[in-house]
Amino acid sequence: MSVTYVDAIREAQEKLLREDPRVFLYGQDISKFGGAFKATKGLAEEFPGRVLDSPISEDAMIGMAVGAAIEGMRPIIEMQFADFSSIAFNQIVNQAATHFYRTGVPVPLTVRLPSGGTPGSGPFHSQSMEALYAHYPGLIVVTPATVSDAYHMLLESVALDDPVVYCEHKFLYRWLKAPRINGDQLPIGKARITRPGKHATVVAYSAMVHEAVRAADRLKEQGGWEIEVVDLRSVKPLDIDTVLASVARTGRLLALGEAFPWGGVTAEVISRVCTDGFHLLDAPPRRLNSRDTPVPYHPKLWAAHRPTPETICIALRELLSF
């Protein structure tokens, strides 16, 4: 028996509903239907009146949640796809993110964004929105990459008084499994060394952590290279101290992300390392992202659009040969 990534998200919500009467779930088709990805399956029957279907209006969903959070509730909002959260952008960045700074009253809401690409999902159901939300002060943005982090980081997100954008990767929902949910969680804002190494550092987050580990394993087999992989876990706050410590050990940096290449999390990592750790680098730092086009529908085009172990290996070989 194993626990999948989406199981962990469901179990975290079940625990929150059971232990905190302020928590309720709100989203499109999440009640009787259990949500587009079944992350709320069975919870409406277990907790009557606290797992609520919303109208098809992301703007109205977040507006209601902001009001409920101001009045002391802890709403968890499920966007059907992260892409659709752009319709609620004003409510998230202009209302939720700024409210405490304007009034002193916190807005403790959690917005779950099913993020990233899967084969055949195309441009409207595949986007990675973390960089957009990380740009705005007042928001916490988390990107769990493991089953245990999916569970513990959702619990911690709901406990925070700040609004949290919780980016859960759809590709990991059923593919990623673990024997159990571990109890060795780190706090939000602390990165994890997923794979130790000494020749180069790959800084990644969300599903790209697993692609980075696959690439590191290949380079170990093919050339004896020891690549260190850092899982950021949250992109805001960004644990630059752990990144700098890794670069100090390896002297080389590849920042890896699934989002589009213009700006974004990988650009922020490179900028901060160049500013605060330029003396640690033995080679120019590199970035690797998806291509700068809308996400294609065809599975083969999709696979060529995002970073893969093959393209990560190419980037790392170029970095190592400098």
**Which positions are catalytic?**
125
Give 294's DSSP letter. Answer: P
35's tokens: 């949500």
Distance, in Å, from the CA atom of 68 to the CA atom of 63, rounded to the nearest integer, reads: 9
Bridge partner list, 97: none
Q: How far is CA 201 from CA 28, 194, 242, 267, 319, in A?
A: 40, 11, 11, 15, 10
- Residue 163 · residue 214 · CB < 8 Å: no
Distance, in Å, from the CA atom of 49 to the CA atom of 24, rounded to the nearest integer, reads: 8
232's tokens: 């950021």
- Closest to 114 in 3D by CA, of 72, 65, 168: 168
